[in-house]
Amino acid sequence: MTEKELTSLTRKQLVALAMDEGIKNYSRMTKAKLIENLSAKSPKANADKKTPVHTTHPVSKEEKPQHTALAYEQDQVEEAKYYIGPTEYRIEGQTADLPSGYGDNKIVALVRDPYWIYTYWEVSPHSIQQAKAALGEKWNGAKSILRVYDITDREFNGENANKSFDIELNGGVSNWYINVGEPNRCYCIDIGVLTADGQLYTLARSNAVTPPRDSMSEVVDEEWMSSREDAEKMYALSGGFGIGAGSLELQEMMQERLKRELSSGGSSSWESGISREKKRGFWFILDAELVVYGATEPNASVTIQNRPVNLRPDGTFSLRFALPNGEQVIPVTATSADKVEARTITPVVNRSTNKSATVAA
């Protein structure tokens, strides 16, 4: 096609022609640049062309009398959509493309989710030549494989894995998604050559990775016991020693809770005023606590009773509450990181303690 004919085409049509002509980097070219490159490819255009096209900007409306104003504006909008500025960086007069490899000899493993690992690798020609020399005749009929090792709780030396499995590679691939089957385990991967008699020649070994668990953690936050001195201060401030103005319900709750934590072998300074069977020394106390736990997106924010909660790296959380008599309303709200979504779950828990005496016959 002549340059005049090319100018009358839209950018999409020019891109299609550039694909057919095998022109590189056509998707990054302006319309004028496409016309220039297509003109250079066309013998007819070269014959008709009197002066080379050097412009890198769209020509003006006056230079396109065959276009209507609307058609020209549409071309300009279409061109602006794809044009992202100059993209050609020349090294010694040639356009620099990404190399197919860097001469490295390595394999890298990355976790995708609890059940899948992504791995990519590059094996240098020198390593392949070394493998051929080492295996000799065994090289014939050997196949490329990935060997996936479960090395959980192991100082791995290449032979002491918990278990392993192989993936055969075909077609010169350089990356793979691996279904490991078990989450929360530690894995590493070898790429190598497996001979017909089962000998593996390792070309490269990956880093170790551990996919996360696929459920909430079973770990419950520990509750640390206060020292006796701190406990007595708390009890006194609650009104337990007649100091302060704590409510009767708070006094009873604190007394029962601290007696349970600090009493030992049935004798304690907290027993004053508590009715027990003195002759036999038998006594019985029962208390209750509530564990609230859940999970959400790791980058979300969570509040319980309007107080912020610290999430673990996997998005799980757990808290322990005292459970006195009566009704406990515990609203729990999770808010997405972008503040667009929020979910609230409100457990309501009732406790009623009934005391009765049982006498054996």
Q: Yes or no: say if 324 and 351 are a contact pair by the CB < 8 Å rule.
A: yes
Whether pLDDT at 104 is above 90: no
HSE-CB at 295 with a 13 A cutoff on CA atoms is 12
Q: Average the pLDDT over 174-195 and give the result.
A: 93
| Closest by Cα among 273, 284, 281, 268 to 232 | 268
Q: How does pLDDT run across 237-249, given as a tens digit for each residue?
A: 555 555 444 455 5
Can you tell me the distance from the alpha carbon of 136 to that of 45, in angstroms, rounded to the nearest whole number? 58
Q: How does pLDDT run across 280-330, given as a tens digit for each residue?
A: 667 777 778 888 889 999 999 999 988 898 898 888 988 887 777 888 888
CATH number for 289-351: choose from 2.60.40.10, 3.90.180.10, 1.20.140.10, 3.30.1330.200: 2.60.40.10
Can you give the pLDDT at residue 110?
96
Q: Where are the alpha helices (DSSP H) in the chain?
A: 3-7, 11-21, 31-41, 43-48, 69-82, 125-135, 228-237, 248-262
Where do the CATH 2.60.40.10 domains begin and end in the chain?
106-205, 289-351
DSSP codes, 107-126:
EEEEEEETTEEEEEEE--HH
DSSP codes, 197-214:
TS-EEEEEEPPPB-PPPS
Q: Yes or no: say if 117 and 151 are a contact pair by the CB < 8 Å rule.
A: no
Claim: this prediction has a pTM higher than 0.75: no
Domain 106-205 sits in CATH 3.30.930.10: no
Whether pLDDT at 129 is above 70: yes
